[in-house]
Structure formats: C-alpha cells, structure tokens
Amino acid sequence: MTTQHILGWLLIAGVLSGFVFQRSRLCFVSALRDLFLFRALRMTRAMLLLFLLTVTGGATLQAVRGVLVEGFPGPTPAGALAGGAIFAVGMVLAGSCIAGAFWRLGEGQLSQLAVLAGVLAGTWLYVNLPFLTTVTVQETFNAWIAVGLLLLGLMAVAAWERRQPRVGEELPGARRLSWVRAPWAPELGAVVMAVLLVTFMALTGTGWGVSRAFLLTDFSAAAYAGGLLIGGFLGARLGREFRVRGPGGRAPMVIRLLGGVLMGYGARVGWGCT
C-alpha cells in the first residue's frame, strides 16, 4: 500500500473516529475524572471495553497472520512513567486529551484552540529541551495476558457497580431515535472504535496516532488529526449540537494552555499520548 493510500485511509479513519467520539462522548479524561470524583464507572467501563476489544483483535490478527513481533524502539520505563504522569496532569488541566481537543474544536468549542496551541508549544519545548531521551527496545509479552487483566478489570467494575447506587444517568443509553441524531451510549462508541481500529490494522498493517502531528513532520498523524476535526463537526451537525462557543475567560484559557503544554511535552517523553 502506497503512502498516499495510507494517508487517505488515515483521513477516513480520523473522520469516523471523530464522529464516534462526538456522538458517544467517549473520553479518557471522563473515565478517570468520573471514577475519582463521582464514583461513576460507566465511562471507565467503556474505556476498559475499548481496550479489551482492541487488544483481543490485535492479538487475533497477529495469531492468524503468524507475525512475530520481537520488539520495537520506545522510551525507557522511566521515560514512559514520567511521560504518562506529565501527560495525565496536562490532560486534567486541559479537560481533554489531544484527540478530544480536535473533535471538540470541530463541534464548535473554540476553547480547544488554547489546548492545541499549548500542545504545539509543549512539543517545541521538548525538541529544544528534551528529557529522558534514552531509547530502548520494548520487550513484548503475550497479549492474551493483557486480555485476561482487562477482563478482570471489567469484572471488578461490574462488581463495584452492583454495590453502588445508580450514577452517570446523564450519559445516554439506548433510545428509539435515529442512530445518527441520538446520543450514543459510551459502550457503543467503544465497540465501534475497536472495530474501526482493528479493521484499520488489518487493512494497513499499522495503527494511528495524533500527537506526532505537532512535530510538523509526520503527515500520517496530521491526516488523522484533520479527520478528527471533520468528524467532530459532522457528528455535531448531524446531531444538531453544533454551536460555536467562545473560549471563555482569561484564567480558564491559561489553564487550558498550560494543560496543552504538559500534554505536548509528556507525549514526547512517553512516545505517545492516550
């Protein structure tokens, strides 16, 4: 498959991803925030389901094709831990991850411009002031171990929810409306996203990412990021939710900008974002 074909597939994948994220509100930040602040586990359950289906699909593809992955370059354990911690703090301050900032901008949230500007600044800062740049060969392990751990996580969430009062009712459930215009349940968004990613891996032999777009040299990440923006716009328009919202006051903008800087820097330290 040529580079042009892969870029085209990445743009399409970005559009579909942005649409699914916008309709289901599937969000890494919400999965963590709701868990610790509100004891609401529905979004956490949806994210665990997404991880479970994606890892299972990837492991199945590897088994069917007989591909043996011996290792790949990546950050040291210290770099991965530090990058993840920096990114997590930035994600909380910004109120979204990098992908979320793109599709939210597409639905009219101009406040996300500050987040994306911060990510660009954080990426530039890392290029000029790198931290924990040592590269190591990532050791691989049996993916089915991860599948088992994710299943245990889902079982733990289910057990916890049975002992708690019903929360998270603001999240959409099944409704007898048009599947396009009605809000999607986050679990549905997780299933669709997993199918999209596994299908993309089967067709192209690779995955996708967005944070490297801010290096201004990775056109594949830029294509996916542009698709997220378009998909968020289409989802909001078809769902009759598109509305241009101002960036807010100065203080919230500064906080979002700082969050973006930390996400951009952390993504480079840890070699990737959420």
pLDDT in tens, 38-65: 878 889 999 999 999 999 998 888 888 7
pLDDT level of residue 66 (50, 70, 90 thresholds): low
Q: How far apart are CA 183 and CA 178, in angstroms?
A: 9
Per-residue confidence (pLDDT) for residue 24, from 0 to 100: 95
Within a 10 A sphere around the Cβ of 245, how many other Cβ atoms? 12
Q: How far apart are CA 173 and CA 124, in angstroms?
A: 41
More confident residue, 273 or 184: 184
Q: How far apart are CA 115 and CA 95, in angstroms?
A: 9
More confident residue, 176 or 3: 3
CA angle, 182 then 188 then 191, to 5°: 145
Give whole-number Cα distances, 260 to 145, 251, 255, in Å: 34, 14, 9
DSSP string, 26-56: --HHHHHHIIIII---HHHHHHHHHHHHHHH
More confident residue, 213 or 34: 213
How large is the average pLDDT for residues 187-196? 96
% pLDDT > 90, the chain: 58
224-237, pLDDT tens digit by residue? 999 999 999 999 99
Per-residue confidence (pLDDT) for residue 141, from 0 to 100: 63
Per-residue confidence (pLDDT) for residue 274, from 0 to 100: 66
How large is the average pLDDT for residues 116-142? 83
More confident residue, 76 or 111: 111
On the question of pLDDT at 167 being above 70, the answer is no
Q: How far apart are CA 131 and CA 133, in angstroms?
A: 6
Q: How far apart are CA 274 and CA 148, in angstroms?
A: 21
Backbone φ and ψ for 76, nearest 5 degrees, come out as -70, 165
User: In DSSP terms, which residues pair with 74 in a beta bridge?
Assistant: 136
- Long-range contact set of residues 180-186: C-beta below 8 Å, sequence gap at least 24: 180/23, 180/238, 180/239, 181/238, 181/239, 181/240, 182/239, 183/23, 183/24, 183/25, 183/239, 184/20, 184/23, 184/24, 184/25, 185/24, 185/46, 186/24, 186/25, 186/26, 186/42, 186/43, 186/46
Per-residue confidence (pLDDT) for residue 4, from 0 to 100: 75
On the question of pLDDT at 114 being above 90, the answer is yes
Please check whether residue 211 is in contact with residue 221, taking contact to mean a CB–CB distance below 8 angstroms: yes
Within a 10 A sphere around the Cβ of 107, how many other Cβ atoms? 24
72-89, pLDDT tens digit by residue? 567 778 888 999 999 999
On the question of pLDDT at 174 being above 50, the answer is no
How large is the average pLDDT for residues 174-195? 80
Share the mean pLDDT of the chain: 87
pLDDT level of residue 67 (50, 70, 90 thresholds): low
Segments of 54-212 assigned E as strands:
72-75, 135-138
- Tell me if the pTM is above 0.75: yes
Helix or strand or coil: residue 267?
Answer: helix
Helix or strand or coil: residue 78?
Answer: helix
Q: How far apart are CA 187 and CA 264, in angstroms?
A: 28
- Find where tokens 């009759």 sit: 240
